[in-house]
Amino acid sequence: MKRYILSVLVQNNPGVLARVASLFGRRGYNIDSLTVSETNNPGISIITLTVTGDENILEQIIKQASKLEEVIKVHHIQEQHALSRELLLIKMKIDSETRTSLREISEIYEAKIVDLAPASMIIELTGTTQNIDAFLGIMKDFTIIEMCRTGVTALEKDSSKI
């Protein structure tokens, strides 16, 4: 099983995300991550999603999604030719002892401390899925109060392939 990144250009209409997502559910495919935003054209949105499967599953997903009326284009983004990022916001419980450790870890991962209160710290990290997973692995040694993580956003480095 392999992780695939798909970019789906859609008409920016109410309910289009629900229709695309329900297509996956009806066929028994799980969406691992999902992000949606307008493009530089306000009438078009881009849905970036990751799925896990084999080549046959990828092919079926692309074929089925392409049939949806509001879908303009479905494109498999090759990870080796793309830049992909996620965003993590994590609120950590702190005291005088853990504050310094969390600052040092944040510095190593090039994360930003975006809020500091007497009993908590909010850290922002943007990076690859692997980088965020590694950071979270270390954060499990501390007390996580709350966290929020986006899905993958990706762009191919060479747009001539699209």
CATH number for the domain harbouring residue 142: 3.30.70.1150
pLDDT tens digits, 44-83 = 999 999 999 889 988 999 999 999 999 999 999 998 889 9
- Helix/strand/coil percent split, the chain, to 5: 35, 45, 25
Are residue 70 and residue 118 in the same domain, yes or no?
Answer: no
**158 found inside a domain:** no
Are residue 22 and residue 68 in the same domain, yes or no?
Answer: yes
pLDDT tens digits, 123-156 = 999 999 999 999 999 999 999 999 999 999 999 9
pLDDT tens digits, 107-127 = 999 999 999 999 999 999 999
Are residue 56 and residue 89 in the same domain, yes or no?
Answer: no
**160 found inside a domain:** no
Those residues with Cβ within 8 angstroms of residue 159's Cβ, 6 or more apart along the chain or in another chain: none
Are residue 70 and residue 99 in the same domain, yes or no?
Answer: no
Total-model pTM: 0.84
Pick from 26, 52, 77: which residue ends a domain? 77
State the residue range of the domain holding 136.
85-153
